[in-house]
Amino acid sequence: MQDCSMHADDLKVRSDAFLKAIEDTGLVGTWHWSFASGEQRWSPGFVRLLGLAAHSIAPSYAMFVDLVCPADRRRIAGPADVLAGHVLPCALLRVIRPSGELRSLSVRSELRFAPDGRPTGLSGIALDVTDRARLSLMLQREQLRRRALYQTTYAITYAVEPNNTYDFPPEMATAHGLDLAAIRSDPFLMVVPWDRPAFRDAAMAVRSHVARFQETARERLADGDVRRFRIIGVPLWDPAGRYLGRAGMKYPIHDSGAPLSGTAPPLDGAIRRGLEDGVEAPHLRAARGLLDWSMAQLAAASGVSLSTVKRLEDGSEIRGARSRVKAIAALRAAGIRFVMMDGGQIAVTRA
């Protein structure tokens, strides 16, 4: 089992579209366990991966462990070990579905901790590696799709790890005629020399975990053509407020600032989450003002408590909190738009 060509770790760098595509086939699933509330959530893909009927089960980490082949259970932490803060981060396991079918899973588990070191929750992702040929074909198709998309639109997403390591896809290096390792080490190599110092200074000025970034720069392509790109970067946080790195995207624009394709590409899930995490107390108060809503009305529309809205509006709620997502969703549904401007500021408008 050790020679499988793809593992759960590989999914961290795939697009949201790719993750959804393979989850829809039952090849991947995720789970979450909050120790304080006891709430456990399984994605539909994880339920299918285990061969269970969604309507007939209550998610339970203990149930997952029970489905693991007895010979492999030493490779995964039991419920008591997890609550004590002990987890094996990566494992290859076999699970036995209720039908008796045996499936091989690559599993990655990650604990979340409070500032005082107490474990507060567990998240995990499992990838079905039983049918490696099918998985490899899906990966190849995704790579071809990304390559074709970038070569025709030059719009692409990327990630920046918490240690500021850039994770650019290979097609970006190909389009610019540069070595992938070189641009991952120094992303400013893509920028034309006369724009490079100013753009580097602007980017380095927002290396703070809470800072958003949106600027434009001219970049040279492999064929010698020079195009202006809008480049966006937003910090990402988990629900416990822990910094996860940054999500980025770039797309070509006219000198006027209008997207070259006529419309800006849609924000992917990570970029949208990062933008929403950047919506702060003044933005929420401004949005309420545009709607002429009270705090109580926002609480009712978003399904959170009045005290939670007060924490959001006084800035004491942690970044990444689900309450922020709910409040923003309610405001969007009422016609509010949060738009990131060049320089990283967020504008609040009403449709």
- At 2 the pLDDT is 33
- At 236 the pLDDT is 82
pLDDT in tens, the chain (351 residues): 333 344 544 444 444 544 555 555 567 888 999 998 899 999 888 998 999 887 778 899 999 999 999 999 988 999 998 998 888 888 889 999 999 998 989 898 888 887 777 888 999 999 888 877 666 777 777 777 777 777 777 888 888 888 888 888 888 888 899 999 999 999 999 999 999 999 998 888 776 666 788 889 999 999 999 999 999 888 887 767 778 888 888 889 988 888 877 666 666 667 777 777 788 889 999 999 999 999 999 999 999 899 999 999 998 887 777 788 889 989 989 999 888 887 778 889 998
The pTM assigned to this predicted structure is 0.56
Neighbours of 102 (CB within 10 A): 10
Question: What single string gives the DSSP state of each residue in 245-293?
Answer: EEEEEEEEE-TTS-BTTSSPPPP-HHHHHHHHHT--HHHHHHHHHHHT-
Domains (ranges, CATH) in the chain?
8-134 (3.30.450.20), 154-267 (3.30.450.20), 279-350 (1.10.260.40)
